């Protein structure tokens, strides 16, 4: 069982009239709202939180890529990961992930990931993603080519890491006479690969076939995760092997305080800022991003999405976030981790407007009072091997 | 309108692409090129045209039951598909009535094979980028917002009938397919071909432009630009009309189109 601290690096100062005047926290939200001075403070706090995760004994930290939005102000996770490669000592650095259809050419991703792997001494986990729906608007990238661009970019990056260069690549979307990235990654033949998914069969099949790790996209109802993870395990069986729990990751918001009551009191306003403001506009399916049938299906699945929650009870019942005393958090996580059969827990410890001091306090409590018990109970050693 | 109009459905094989074709009415041939909305089933506007013409109403690749979108990467591929289709139908110098996305396709086909297409009616045509008159965002999810964008009166019955109202509407799959096929050729550059501007002087056959004055998707300034730069074009702007000209001004637009074609073919 491995524990990761995941960060979105959200914008915490949306105007009071946001809900009235803005339909979304994405793409069309005027960037005047972003205050660079305050942005600098936030970035430094957020990096401090991830460095703290390393010091507290988390197995890894996670950063990710989003563009033109308030939900996650990290357009370049590789910049953050490269800082963390220097400032952390032991933990894995999971970039979940680079949106590779937007890298032109995608060999930039192979190069930058290799740099991070070298600087960190081989601690990179390489996440490769299609890119979120809103980002196809932000970049004016044609979403009807998203999947084929992803596959071409993916295969190209894998070749760039594993085949001696220079070689030629003449694909549909990129034509490269010389593929020969310097540097190469420390981890051979390549860093571990993580791929997030929101339940589309195409992605599950792709990850299972190649024996990579599948990360469940957060903010869905527990039952939705269960269905997707079961589907993944079935897909692995059909490929003639049994999935390792470490091939599955579960990402969810976690908050720990001294007591249940205190945890909710400290956490709740920040949680609702996240749910009601930052999630607004996250789930957008531009045309062709996935098949028409999948879009129709996922639209229905969205009836089980965190943004439909109105009360604390809704959050708890759907398992959208785990909030409480160390004992409550431990007990709920233990039960659900076993039920879901996942080997990686990706905790979102900071979210919305949650201040730096509360985030650090929650992470410390979690690391000191939740993680050791869970490690023992789930009968596995610390991953810092 | 006659109560019965001759109607026939066919499936063509156009260079390996399965293509849905509806043929309506009797008389000299007329090719209708539909919009991003995918009006591939006969609507009142088509029926008006079919009173005087045999209307060929194909569905573009990826729309309705037409396939082959996997072989369409851009508007140029779409135009070549129509070069093949017009030749398959044995037509030459065929009059065209075209609407929005379809009107853009008509321009591109005309550039590739000038002799295939005759006098052309272009309604609320996509295809251009006009400085100072940006096109609005068509690729949004909210049906109510789309209705407001496209219709002069979003509360009208035709506005309500034309759009699915939510994801449970049985038309949703076809709607999503139409949206995907439009995005394929119109996502970037957004609903236009930057090179079309420099070719406009080559499109020298007669063109009748029809625009809704209150078109919010493709502002009337685009019609004025086409009219100013096409060598042989005239423009009629319709009052109290948005982008959905064939729905909002069915009779008026059909009459303009039929009069123009009658004059040009005389």
pLDDT tens-digit map of B8-25: 999 999 999 999 999 999
Mean pLDDT for the stretch of residues B66-91: 98
Indicate the domain borders of chain B.
7-136+170-264
The pLDDT, as a whole number, for residue A380 is 53
pLDDT score at A384: 42
Whether residue A93 contacts residue A61, with contact meaning beta carbons closer than 8 Å, is answered with yes
User: What is d(CA B19, CA B165) in angstroms, rounded to the nearest whole number?
Assistant: 28
Size of interface A-B (CB pairs under 8 A): 46
**Complex prediction ipTM:** 0.92
Q: Which pLDDT does position A330 carry in this prediction?
A: 98
State the smallest CA–CA distance between residue B107 and chain A in angstroms.
Answer: 23
Q: Which of B173, B187, B190 sits opposite A292 (nearest CB)?
A: B173
Quickly state the pLDDT bin for A218 (edges 50, 70, 90). Answer: confident
Query: What confidence tier does B202 reach under pLDDT thresholds 50, 70, 90?
Result: very high
Rounded percentage of chain A residues whose pLDDT exceeds 90: 88
Report strand pairing: A175-179 vs A167-170.
antiparallel
Contact A96, A64 (CB under 8 A): yes
Answer for the pair A53, A85: CB distance below 8 angstroms, yes or no: no
Percent pLDDT > 70 in chain B is 98
Percent of chain A with pLDDT over 70: 98
The strand ranges marked E within chain A are 2-6, 60-63, 92-99, 124-129, 167-170, 175-179, 193-197, 213-216, 248-256, 322-324, 344-348
* Chain A residues inside the 8 Å CB shell of B141: 284-285
Contact B187/A295, CB-based, under 8 Å?
no
Nearest Cα residue in chain A from B179: A287
Please tell me the pTM assigned to this model. Answer: 0.94
- Give the domain extent around A148: 2-382
Residue matched to tokens 């661009």 = A149
- A293 interfacial to chain B (CB closer than 8 Å): yes
**Phi, psi torsion values for A339, nearest 5 degrees:** -65, -45
Q: What is the sign, positive or negative, of the torsion defined by CA atoms of A370, A374, A377, A383? A: negative
Give the pLDDT mean for A143-149.
95
Domain count, chain A: 1
> In whole numbers, what is the pLDDT of chain A averaged over residues?
94
Which pLDDT does position A198 carry in this prediction? 79
| Mean pLDDT of the B82-107 span | 98
User: Is the CB of residue B65 less than 8 Å away from at least one CB of chain A?
Assistant: no
CB A355 within 8 A of CB A13: no
Q: Does B192 touch chain A (CB under 8 A)?
A: no
Tokens of A30: 């005027």
Closest chain B C-alpha to A298 CA, distance in angstroms = 11
User: What dotted CATH number matches B7-136+170-264?
Assistant: 3.40.50.1820
Give the best residue of B72, B181, B183 to mutate against chain A (max A CB count within 10 A).
Answer: B183
> Residue B66 in contact with residue B60, Cβ under 8 Å?
yes
The band of A299, judged by pLDDT with boundaries at 50, 70 and 90, is confident
Contacts of A166 (CB under 8 A, 6+ apart): A178, A179, A180
């Amino acid at each position: 069982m491995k524990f990761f601290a995941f960060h979105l690096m959200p914008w915490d100062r949306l105007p009071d009239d946001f809900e009235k005047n803005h339909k979304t926290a994405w793409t069309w939200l005027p960037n005047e709202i972003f205050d660079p001075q305050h942005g600098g403070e936030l970035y430094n706090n957020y990096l401090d939180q991830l460095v703290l995760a390393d010091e507290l004994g988390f197995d890894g930290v996670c950063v990710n890529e989003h563009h033109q939005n308030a939900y996650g102000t990290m357009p370049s996770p590789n910049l953050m990961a490269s800082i963390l490669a220097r400032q952390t000592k032991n933990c894995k650095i999971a970039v979940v992930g680079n949106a590779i259809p937007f890298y032109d050419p995608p060999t930039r991703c192979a190069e930058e990931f290799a740099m991070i792997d070298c600087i960190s001494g081989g601690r990179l986990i390489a996440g490769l993603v299609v890119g979120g729906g809103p980002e196809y608007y932000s970049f004016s990238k044609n979403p009807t080519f998203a999947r084929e661009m992803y596959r071409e970019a993916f295969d190209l990056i894998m070749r760039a890491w594993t085949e001696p260069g220079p070689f030629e690549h003449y694909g549909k979307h990129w034509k490269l006479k010389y593929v020969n990235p310097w540097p190469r990654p420390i981890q051979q033949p390549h860093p571990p690969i993580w791929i997030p998914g929101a339940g589309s069969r195409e992605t599950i099949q792709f990850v299972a076939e190649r024996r990579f790790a599948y990360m469940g996209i957060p903010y869905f109802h527990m039952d939705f995760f269960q269905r997707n993870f079961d589907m993944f395990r079935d897909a692995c069986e059909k490929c003639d092997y049994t999935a390792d729990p470490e091939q599955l990751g579960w990402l969810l918001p976690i908050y720990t305080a001294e007591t249940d009551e205190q945890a909710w009191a400290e956490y709740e306003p920040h949680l609702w800022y996240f749910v009601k403001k930052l999630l607004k506009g996250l789930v957008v399916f531009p045309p062709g991003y996935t098949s028409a049938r999948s879009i129709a299906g996922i639209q229905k699945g969205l009836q089980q999405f965190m943004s439909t929650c109105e009360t604390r009870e809704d959050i708890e019942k759907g398992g959208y976030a785990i909030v409480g005393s160390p004992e409550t958090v431990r007990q709920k996580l233990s039960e659900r981790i076993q039920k879901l059969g996942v080997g990686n827990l990706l905790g979102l410890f900071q979210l919305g407007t949650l201040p730096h001091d509360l985030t650090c306090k929650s992470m410390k409590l979690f690391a000191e009072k939740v993680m050791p018990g869970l490690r023992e109970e789930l009968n596995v050693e610390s991953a810092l091997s | 309108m006659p109560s019965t109009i001759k109607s026939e459905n066919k499936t063509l094989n156009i260079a390996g692409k399965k293509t849905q074709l509806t043929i309506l009415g009797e008389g000299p041939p007329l090719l209708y090129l539909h919009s991003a909305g995918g009006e591939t089933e006969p609507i009142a506007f088509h029926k008006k045209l079919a009173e005087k013409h045999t209307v060929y109403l194909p569905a573009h690749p990826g729309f309705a039951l037409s396939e082959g979108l996997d072989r369409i990467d851009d508007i140029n591929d779409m135009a070549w598909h129509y070069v093949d289709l017009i030749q398959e139908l044995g037509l030459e110098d065929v009059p065209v009535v075209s609407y929005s996305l379809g009107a853009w396709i008509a321009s591109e086909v005309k550039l590739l094979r000038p002799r295939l297409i005759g006098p052309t009616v272009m309604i609320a045509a996509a295809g251009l980028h006009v400085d100072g008159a940006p096109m609005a965002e068509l690729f949004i999810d909210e049906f109510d917002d789309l209705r407001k964008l496209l219709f002069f009166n979003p509360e009208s019955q035709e506005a309500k009938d034309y759009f699915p109202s939510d994801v449970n509407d049985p038309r949703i799959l076809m709607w999503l397919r139409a949206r995907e096929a439009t995005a394929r050729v119109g996502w970037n550059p957004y609903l236009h071909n930057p090179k079309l501007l420099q070719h406009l002087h080559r499109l020298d056959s007669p063109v009748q432009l029809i625009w809704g004055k209150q078109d919010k998707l493709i502002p009337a300034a685009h019609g004025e630009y086409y009219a100013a730069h096409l060598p042989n074009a005239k423009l009629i702007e319709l009052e109290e009309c948005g982008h959905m000209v064939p729905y909002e001004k069915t009779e008026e637009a059909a009459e303009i189109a039929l009069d123009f074609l009658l004059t040009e073919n005389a």
